[in-house]
Every structure is written in C-alpha cells, then in structure tokens.
Structure 1
Amino acid sequence: MESLRTGISSRSALCCVFVLWLQLTLGLTGDCPADGRTWVPFKGKCYHFVHGVEDKIKSYTFERAQSLCLGFELLTVQSQEENDFVIKYSPEVWKGVVNVWLGMYYDTESDEMRWFGEDAAQFTNWEDHVLSSDILPIDTCVALHSDTGKWEKVSCLDDVENGVICEASEKAEEVKKKPSVLVSVLVILSVIAIVGVSAGIWFLYHKQNLGSSIFSAFEYHPPFRVLETDQSCLVEAEETDNMP
C-alpha cells in the first residue's frame, strides 16, 4: 500500500513538472477576456468587432463607441499587418463598407495625433488626398475605412460612424515569450531529480520488504541429533538388562 502511494505521488509530481514545461514551451497561458463577448486573437492582442442588430442602421458617436468597449480601448493600429487584419476580418462581421472609430486623439502639447494609451503614432495610413476641413485640432478624431484601410480625420463631436472595434491585450503576454535556455535546463534537472528520488525510495522499500521475507523464511531449527553406533549399542544393552 505504501509503495502504491509513493508511485502515485511520484507520477503526480512528474505530471506537474511536465505541464509547467508545456506551458512555458507552447505559451498556453495567454487568453482573451472572458466577458461573454466574441474576441478574435491576433499577434498578442484581442479584438471585439461590435456587430449590433443587423436590421437596424448603425451609427455611433465617438463617446458612444468608447462606452461600448466597457473599459477596454478602441482599436489602435500599430503596423501594416494589423491594418490588413482589420480589413480582411471586417467582412466576416459586417456587410458593406464600415467606417471604424480609432482610439486616436489630437495632443495639444505635442501638436500631433496620439493613441489613447499615450503611445505615439509610429504607423499611419492616411488617405492619399486629404481634404481641407473646418475641424478644430482639439476636436479631431480618426476613422478607418474598411474597404480601403485608409484613415480619415473626422470630428469627435459632430460625426457618427457605423463601426466599433474594441481592443485588449492577451493576459500574461510576457509568459508567452519563448522560454530561456536556463528555464528549460532547470525543468529537465527537476524531472531527473524527481525520477531519481522516486527510484531510490522504491528500491529501499522493496529491499526492506525482501530482506524481512528472506529471514522469516529461513528460521533457525536445531539439527536432529543422531547417536553414534557405540552409544546406540550401549543403550540397547541397558534396555535388555533392565527387562524382567
């Protein structure tokens, strides 16, 4: 019974180490928000395409678009690859051309457009021909056209758009990075140590039980004493003399 418990404990420890190694190797710890909405993962981020009711005309002010994200940020586009992803996935959710609000605003201090996460706009995809407008810089927001992927400056106060995409980072993104060689070596050494200790315990346990069974099987019994020939003759003579 004790050996069975030892074996189970060893196997459980090995399973835990294996699962840890698998998580570190494959990056299984990352995940999108579990809030009942549909999130689409892409390159370490999660995207929720707000589709609304199909038989109703969609129109969202910038303020309304922000509130629909429920604490998450509006879409930010940091690369051409991400911009292309939005264009390619949009037809899976919406019919026709959709203008999507971007989480971008005009920063009066730096006199440039910035993301709401305070990141500078390293990548932009403005329309080729920008029309002059009467929008005040402080009231300038940006919309992305789903048919071309181009960006247009629009009014944060007066314009309404028909597309909203919310964005979130995948949880524990730093754990998803490829594990270092040191971590892999430590995991391998842990497995070897657990196997060695388990084998040692198993060997000592069975050696103790085997030793006790051997000693119990060979109990000491005094040998039967055989009388020598002369002594046996004397015994028979004495018995004969004593007979009546």
Structure 2
Amino acid sequence: MPRAALPVLLLPLLGLAVATAADCPSSTWIQFQDSCYIFLQEAIKVESIEDVRNQCTDHGADMISIHNEEENTFILNTLKKQWKGPDDILLGMFYDTDDESFKWFDKSNMTFVKWTDQDGETLVDTCAFLQMKTGEWKKGNCELSSVEGTLCKAVIPYQKKYLSDNHILISALVIASTLILTVLGAVIWFLHKRGADSDFTTVFSAAPQSPCDDNCVLVVAEENEYAVQFD
C-alpha cells in the first residue's frame, strides 16, 4: 500500500473526534462537569415564571438546576467573576402543591438543597433564589414584575459528551488500527510477490534435461561403435 494513502484513510475517521471538540453551543457558554451555563444579562418584564423560562428555552436550555455543592460553588464564583447579575438569582425551581415538594423545571431529580432558615413562610406560588452573598437558597414569591438577568443551563447530550471525553483514545485506536492494516497489507503483498517469483523459478527449473550423464553418453557411443564393427 502506498505511503500517501495513510493520511487519506485517517481523515474520515479522525473527523469524528475533531467534530466533537466543542461541547457547548458557543464560546459565550461556560462548561462545568456535564453541563453548559450562560447568564443572559437582559432585563425583562415578567408576567409569569414561564416568561423567564422562555429566555432559556429559546437558547435550547432551561432555567438553572443545581445538584451538588461543587456546582453551587461554581455558579456562585462564576457569577461573581465573569457575569454581572443581581444579588439574588432566580433558580429553575417551583413548589408543586400536588406533591407538596419543590421540583426543578428541567425535570431533573432534587438531589441537593441549600436552604437558608426561613420561618412562617407560605409555600403556595413559591420560587427559589440563589443569594450571591451567602450561596444559600431562599424562598420567594414567583409573581415578579421583572428580572435583571436569567441563568440558563443545558446538559451536554450523552453521545456528544462521551465522544468528546474519549476523542483522544478514539484517535489513538484509529491510528493504531490503520497502521496495523497498512503493515498487514504490506506483508500480504510481499508474500504474494515472493510466491510469484517462486513459481517462475519452479517453471524454469522444470525444463526437460538429458536423462543421461557423461558416463551414460560414453557407454552409448561404445555400443554404437561395436554395432558398426559387426555390420
């Protein structure tokens, strides 16, 4: 196999890994663990909580949900360093009066909470807010007239995340497989070439030869001479 064919074989296979390098929708998003985050720094008038959600769903995301202390800290630090937002950030959470429990709008499980102590609170039509100063959550009324910004979160699809996390391994396996196939092809070609040369030598060696050696020729000559004498 010609050496120039090797890069040609690699290009379509390595393209899979290259195409999955960027996990988030654009550079304006920030990635943490298996999700992408963006703070839409736009004040909007609010008639219902759905107006806030629409800000995120229009970008292929949903309002923020938080599932562990590390994520809570990441959001808090990022808001302080890179995003300019209000003192309290609206979380993507609502109180379900049917189940009498808080739930995330994105339908993810409630695996982590960080409530600040609040006594005598009314839970009907209640939303949650992240306090920038403390990192704790507080409950508040969902009937807002406006918000100064919306924090959105998009989960990286499993397939894209898997390919991205393993694109180095995939590339290595592709290169190794291609090299093995290249070497195997060269060996097969060499053996085929060698077999063809061997067949030519065998045919040449099998050409008809005299059945007698020098002694045999001498005996035949003497017999012929003896026969002539008696004739």
- The TM tier, using the shorter chain, reads 0.5 to 0.7
Match of 1:47 in 2: 37
**Counterpart of 1:153 in 2: which secondary structure?**
strand
1:68 Cα offset (Å): 1.4
Identity %: 29
- Three-state SS of the structure 1 residue aligned to 2:115 is coil
Letter in 2 for 1:47: Y
| Structure 1 gaps, min length 5 | 53-57, 211-244
> How do 1:94-243 residues align onto structure 2 when only pairs under 5 Å count?
94-95=83-84, 97-127=86-116, 129-133=117-121, 135-137=122-124, 139-158=125-144, 160-171=146-157, 172-176=160-164, 187=174, 190-200=177-187, 203=190
1:141 CA displacement: 1.2
Q: Structure 1 residues 60 and 153, CA, compared in 2 at 3 Å: closer, same or farther?
A: farther
Maintained 8 Å contact 1:98/1:146: yes
User: Residue 12 in 1 paired to residue 8 in 2?
Assistant: yes
Deviation at 1:87, TM superposition (A): 0.9
Query: Shift of the alpha carbon at 1:40?
Result: 0.6
Residues of 1 paired with 2:5 and 2:193: CA distance? 17
- Distance change in 2, residues 1:188/1:157 (3 Å): same
8 Å CA contact 2:86–2:149 kept in 1: the answer is no
- Structure 2 gap ranges (5+): 198-231
**Is 2:63 the partner of 1:74?**
yes
- After TM superposition, give the deviation of residue 156 of structure 1 in Å: 1.6
TM-score normalized with structure 1 length: 0.62
Query: What do residues 110-156 of structure 1 show as CA deviations (whole Å, max 9, x unaligned)?
Result: 211011222331100111x20434x452x111111122111111122
Cα-to-partner distance string for 1:31-76 (whole Å, 9 max, x where unaligned):
1114xx7101111110011123xxxxx4653333212111420010
CA change 1:9–1:43 in 2 (3 A) is same
For 1:199, what is the secondary structure of its paired residue?
helix
Aligned residues: 191
In 2: Cα distance, 1:184 partner to 1:11 partner? 13
Counterpart contact for 1:60–1:163, Cα < 8 Å: no
* C-alpha deviation, 1:194, in angstroms: 1.4
CA deviation digits over 1:195-230, x for unaligned, max 9?
22342366479879x9xxxxxxxxxxxxxxxxxxxx
Opposite residue 133 of structure 2, the aligned amino acid is D
SS at match of 2:4: helix
TM-score if structure 2 supplies the norm length? Answer: 0.65
* Aligned mates of 1:100, 1:72 — CA distance in 2: 16
Counterpart amino acid of 1:77?
I
Offset, 1:160: 4.3
In structure 2, how many angstroms separate the alpha carbons of the residues matched to 1:44 and 1:165?
16
Q: Partners in 2 of 1:47 and 1:77 — Cα distance?
A: 11
1:32 aligns with 2:13: no
- Aligned-partner Cα distance in 2 for 1:198–1:10: 12
Q: Which amino acid aligns with 2:67?
A: Q
